[in-house]
Amino acid sequence: MSAAELPEREGMDYDVVVVGAGPAGLATAIRLKQQAAERGTDVSVVVVEKGSEVGAHILSGAVVDPIGLDALIPGWREEADAPLTVQVTDDHFYLLGPAGGVKLPNFAMPPLMNNHGNYVGSLGNVCRFLAQKAEALGVEIYPGFAADEILYDDKGAVIGIATGDMGVDKTGEQKPEFTRGMELRGRYTVFAEGARGHLTKKIIAKYNLGEGRDVPKFGIGLKELWKVKPEKHKPGLVQHAFGWPLDSKTGGGAFLYHIDDEQVVVGFVVHLNYQNPWLSPFDEFQRFKTHPLFKDTFEGGKRISYGARAITEGGWQSVPKLSFPGGVLVGCAAGFVNVPRIKGSHNAVLSGMLAADHLLDALAAERNHDELASYEAAWRSSAIGADLKKVRNMKPLWSKFGTFLGIPLGALDMWTNTFGFSLFGTLKHGKTDAASLKPAKDCKKITYPRPDGVLTFDKLSSVFLSNTNHEENQQVHLVVKDMALQKASEHDIYAGPSNRYCPAGVYEWIEEGADAPRFQINAQNCVHCKTCDIKDPNQNITWTAPEGGGGPNYPNM
């Protein structure tokens, strides 16, 4: 049935429509309600979330800088259901070689790297807490609904979103349970989709929001949650490591956080501008856990969850223009991660709050669907700008000079920025992550050890622990634009890196049979990390939203 023949969508009208119930979207919604009440008025706010519940798609570290939560919900620490209860007690940095490592002295670290006063815990649980606060204030939250389409008026301004149709089978035919999506129309629409939001990507392209800014940059972050033996658990211990198993040319590193309830978070980030198509971020992560300085933590423990998510790394110079007719970008949709601190959740909350204040001014002035230029003008001189500006050269220096020279230069730059100046100005990132791969023939093949099933694992048993679930009989949500190009380039030149960068085993080149090589997409395993949308060397793969509610079901990631 063509779009014109489909039954009409039902619609609802709000003052503000928010896409995504992460910390940024929820902070926007809460602040709108709080400040409207302060001003003796009210605003109607709706939040759509593609996860089956709030928190189901949230994956972070997380060491949380409470600056955002303190501003949004003063007194949150005293609440009976406070989502963060463990403060950082010890903070260690290591440079690793294969057999050992050097612990870097804390006094050498610029003050901004200090984690004392921060909390360790689950960002998913923070979002669940924020969602309760939002609902108590009258925000409508609809989990299980992916925003799938942007609605525009005839002048090209955003006027809301539509959720996806449900009940369309693999071939595009309607199933008996077919239901049309809903139109959620807003005077303003806030895109809070997190890193590489699929609607955000369209908005950035349509309004050319990246003009005059550096290219966006990303990493892939993989994470496991372990229940460890009581004697191995040191609540509040935070450890970061870089170096082995990555080579000096490949940026990234590991994190271990001891949170509550004898749980230890272990994770690994690989910068997506890596060059060797044979590299597998998942297998580098598995290797990291075998390092002599860290493997003991997991001895006798049990892995209870797994997941992966892209993280924004472009920072200050890559943040696109945040406002456009009818809407704004907040949080990691804009790319507010402080890369050396591996923290973005505080800026997600702060940017949501900042946007809310500018939205309220516009609503109070009876404005609709126009551009909130004042929000775009405000962020660089806000706490978010101050946080990102000081660290703006770390990532470009690391990319250009590698781990052993780039990190010390980055640290020097962070020190001088602490005193208000930089020897480097503002460095550029160079190529996009998609353009950084070298042909496979020019790179050394990497052979990874087989998993032992105790400390190291394969992808499929890992995806099982992410509780990922998609309705199988639906259209594949990973769209390959040109299959001939995928074969001629991704397969023939780059030796199929999708099979290795995807942390969920979604992509396979089948080398047997009459139609070999055949690109197989196991879309039901997708954990929505967005890496394929970023790293495919030809930008030939596009992540689109599957039916709402599909994807991982993270408990407390």
Ligand X SMILES: Cc1cc2nc3c(=O)[nH]c(=O)nc-3n(C[C@H](O)[C@H](O)[C@H](O)COP(=O)(O)OP(=O)(O)OC[C@H]3O[C@@H](n4cnc5c(N)ncnc54)[C@H](O)[C@@H]3O)c2cc1C
- Residue 31's SS3 state is helix
Distance of CA 150 to the CA centre of its chain: 21
Interaction pattern, residues 429-468, with ligand SF4; x per rule: CB under 6 A = ----------------------------------------
Provide the minimum distance between the beta carbon of 512 and ligand SF4 in the complex, in angstroms, as a whole number: 22
Provide the minimum distance between the beta carbon of 498 and ligand SF4 in the complex, in angstroms, as a whole number: 7
Burial class (CB in 10 A: 0-12, 13-18, 19+), 180: middle
Q: Which does 478 bind (CB under 5 to 8 A by kind): ligand X, ligand SF4, none?
A: ligand SF4
- Residue the block writes with tokens 């550096």: 214
* 64: nearest Cα among 118, 21, 26: 118
In the complex with ligand X, the residue whose CB is nearer, 128 or 358, is 128
Provide the minimum distance between the beta carbon of 102 and ligand X in the complex, in angstroms, as a whole number: 23
The neighbour count for residue 541, using CB atoms within 10 Å, is 24
- Residue the block writes with tokens 């456009």: 324
Q: Which does 527 bind (CB under 5 to 8 A by kind): ligand X, ligand SF4, none?
A: ligand SF4
Provide the minimum distance between the beta carbon of 478 and ligand X in the complex, in angstroms, as a whole number: 15
In the complex with ligand SF4, the residue whose CB is nearer, 91 or 533, is 533
Across the chain, which distance is largest between two alpha carbons, in Å?
70
In the complex with ligand X, the residue whose CB is nearer, 33 or 198, is 198
529 binds ligand SF4 (CB under 6 A): yes
Backbone angles phi, psi at 268, to 5 degrees: -145, 130
195 binds ligand SF4 (CB under 6 A): no
**Which positions touch ligand X (CB under 6 A)?**
19-25, 48-51, 57-64, 123, 146-147, 192-195, 197, 199, 221, 223, 267, 269, 309, 311, 331-333, 337, 342-346, 348, 545
Amino acid letter, 401 = F
In the complex with ligand SF4, the residue whose CB is nearer, 65 or 533, is 533
* 32: nearest Cα among 188, 158, 160: 188
In the complex with ligand SF4, the residue whose CB is nearer, 402 or 505, is 505
Provide the minimum distance between the beta carbon of 503 and ligand SF4 in the complex, in angstroms, as a whole number: 6
In the complex with ligand X, the residue whose CB is nearer, 43 or 272, is 272
In the complex with ligand SF4, the residue whose CB is nearer, 318 or 524, is 524
Provide the minimum distance between the beta carbon of 515 and ligand X in the complex, in angstroms, as a whole number: 34
Peptide bond into 517 cis (omega under 30): yes
Token pair belonging to 143: 């989990």
532 binds ligand SF4 (CB under 6 A): yes
Provide the minimum distance between the beta carbon of 551 and ligand X in the complex, in angstroms, as a whole number: 7
In b/e form, how buried is each residue of 204-226, taking b as 16+ CB within 10 angstroms?
A: beebebbeebbbbbbbbbbbbbb
- Among residues 226, 500, 528, 553, which is the contact residue for ligand SF4, using CB under 6 A? 528
* 16: nearest Cα among 323, 360, 339: 360
In the complex with ligand SF4, the residue whose CB is nearer, 87 or 522, is 522
Question: Which conformational region is residue 138 in: left (phi greater than 0), alpha (psi within -120 to 50 degrees), or beta?
Answer: left
Q: Which does 470 bind (CB under 5 to 8 A by kind): ligand X, ligand SF4, none?
A: none
Among 81-89, 182-190, 436-444, 501-509, which window interacts with ligand SF4 (CB under 6 A)? 501-509
Burial class (CB in 10 A: 0-12, 13-18, 19+), 113: middle
Token pair belonging to 551: 């994807």
- Taking the alpha carbons at both ends of the chain, their separation in whole angstroms is 40
545 binds ligand SF4 (CB under 6 A): no
List of residues 6+ apart from 228 with CB closer than 8 A: 262, 263, 264, 297, 298, 300, 301
In b/e form, how buried is each residue of 245-264, taking b as 16+ CB within 10 angstroms?
A: bbeeebbbbbbbbbbbebbb
Task: For the segment 503-522, give every residue that binds ligand SF4 (CB under 6 A).
Answer: 503-504, 506
In the complex with ligand X, the residue whose CB is nearer, 281 or 496, is 281
Provide the minimum distance between the beta carbon of 384 and ligand SF4 in the complex, in angstroms, as a whole number: 27
- Residue 363's SS3 state is helix
Peptide bond into 134 cis (omega under 30): no
Q: How far apart are CA 280 and CA 267, in angstroms?
A: 15
In the complex with ligand X, the residue whose CB is nearer, 36 or 310, is 310
The neighbour count for residue 444, using CB atoms within 10 Å, is 10
Q: Which does 531 bind (CB under 5 to 8 A by kind): ligand SF4, ligand X, none?
A: ligand SF4
Q: Which does 362 bind (CB under 5 to 8 A by kind): ligand X, ligand SF4, none?
A: none
274 binds ligand SF4 (CB under 6 A): no
Q: Which does 343 bind (CB under 5 to 8 A by kind): ligand SF4, ligand X, none?
A: ligand X
Provide the minimum distance between the beta carbon of 192 and ligand X in the complex, in angstroms, as a whole number: 5
- Among residues 55, 530, 537, 547, which is the contact residue for ligand SF4, using CB under 6 A? 530
**C-alpha distances out from residue 310 to 103, 191, 217, 281, 526, Å:** 28, 17, 10, 12, 13
- Residue 445's SS3 state is coil
In the complex with ligand SF4, the residue whose CB is nearer, 73 or 527, is 527
For ligand SF4, the binding residues (CB under 6 A) are 478, 502-504, 506, 526-532, 543
